């Protein structure tokens, strides 16, 4: 199970890591605010539109590549990620459950059609040529969830669903929103069937991820946590490792390859 700490080496900041990138500028948008206010949606999409180029510009790092190599070798049965950046898949991993969804998709809250974020980005660029050109030069700070610290968003034109005219939302779980039950249960089943749970780069502060550590511990399944800094799950862990993810996972994959158990192409 991976968290934001796995993607910091790709240039995507986390919420609570030790680097100082953890402190988000401003409060994240809640589901209730987004659905209840047209001005809030305008603010979200303007900020997210500017941050999107940063998300799409990020590349998988050594940690993502090592996880994919371990999966290819048959040592990883499944990946539960709390991240919404798609970097596991970009590194070649296949059995990925995106617990909190993905910024690469957009969902209509009326007809529930899912479309690509790239297509929406094209529409937003066409609808906001002057605004986008001016503000792209500002290089505002990017927040962990892909939007930017920018407040002057009143002139931004929001795009609605092309099929029904409904409200579009990124296909991610906002604060104040629940992870779909079927997804939650599938992850419980994956953990139950595993010989061990390895947590990579998550402080486990949010219950959506911490519950799987508690579940594994209750079943006496070993839990190993690799993270920079303490986590909420340390007391339940069989072992904890405080180390940079990229270097630690690359070394692990190499050692397993030497033992004949993994693909070393990381």
Give domain limits for the chain: 4-258
127 annotated binding-site participant? no
Within a 13 Å sphere around the CA of 85, how many CA atoms are in the beta-carbon half? 33
DSSP conformation class of 8 = G
120 annotated binding-site participant? no
Kindly indicate the confidence band of residue 241, based on its pLDDT and cuts at 50, 70 and 90: very high
Range 182-194 average pLDDT: 97
Q: Residue 257: its pLDDT value, please? A: 75
Question: Chain centroid to CA 109: how far?
Answer: 21
* pLDDT, tens digit, 9 for 90 and up, residues 62-121: 999 999 999 999 999 999 999 999 999 999 999 999 999 999 999 999 999 999 999 999
12 annotated binding-site participant? yes
The yes/no answer on whether domain 4-258 falls in CATH 3.40.50.1220 is yes
- Number of CB atoms found within 10 A of residue 70's CB: 23
Task: Using alpha carbons, select from 10, 20, 34, 265 the residue that is nearest to residue 158.
Answer: 34
What are the phi and psi torsion angles at 226 (to 5°)? -115, 115
Kindly indicate the confidence band of residue 17, based on its pLDDT and cuts at 50, 70 and 90: low
| Active site positions, annotated | 100
d(CA 182, CA 186): 6
Task: State pTM to two decimals.
Answer: 0.88
202 annotated binding-site participant? yes
247 annotated binding-site participant? no
The sign of the dihedral angle between the CA atoms of 218, 96, 122, 110 is negative
Within a 13 Å sphere around the CA of 100, how many CA atoms are in the beta-carbon half? 22
128 annotated binding-site participant? no
187 annotated binding-site participant? no
- Number of CB atoms found within 10 A of residue 9's CB: 18
Q: Considering only 19-28, 55-64, 67-76, 194-203, which range has the smallest mean pLDDT?
A: 19-28
């Amino acid at each position: 199970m991976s968290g934001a700490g796995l993607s910091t080496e790709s240039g995507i900041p986390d919420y609570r890591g030790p680097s100082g990138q953890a402190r988000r500028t401003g409060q994240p948008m809640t589901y209730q605010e987004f659905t209840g206010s047209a001005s809030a949606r305008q603010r979200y999409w303007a900020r997210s539109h500017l941050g999107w180029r940063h998300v799409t510009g990020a590349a998988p790092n050594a940690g993502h590549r090592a996880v994919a190599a371990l999966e290819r070798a048959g040592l990883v049965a499944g990946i539960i990620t709390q991240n919404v950046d798609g970097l596991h898949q970009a590194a070649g991993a296949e059995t990925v459950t995106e617990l909190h969804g993905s910024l690469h998709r957009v969902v209509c809250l009326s007809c529930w059609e899912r479309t690509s974020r790239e297509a929406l980005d094209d529409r937003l660029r066409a609808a906001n040529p002057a605004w986008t050109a001016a503000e792209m030069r500002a290089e505002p700070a990017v927040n962990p969830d892909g939007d930017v610290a920018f407040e002057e968003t009143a002139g931004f034109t929001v795009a609605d669903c092309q099929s029904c005219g409904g409200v579009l939302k990124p296909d991610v779980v906002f604060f104040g929103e629940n992870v779909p039950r079927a997804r939650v249960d599938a992850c419980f089943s994956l953990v139950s069937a595993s010989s061990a749970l390895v947590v990579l780069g998550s402080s486990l502060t949010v219950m959506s991820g911490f519950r799987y550590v508690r579940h594994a511990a209750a079943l006496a399944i070993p839990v190993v946590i690799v993270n920079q800094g303490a986590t909420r799950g340390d007391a339940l862990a069989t072992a904890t490792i405080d180390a940079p993810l990229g270097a630690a996972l690359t070394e692990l994959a190499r050692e397993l390859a030497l033992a004949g158990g993994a693909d070393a192409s990381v």
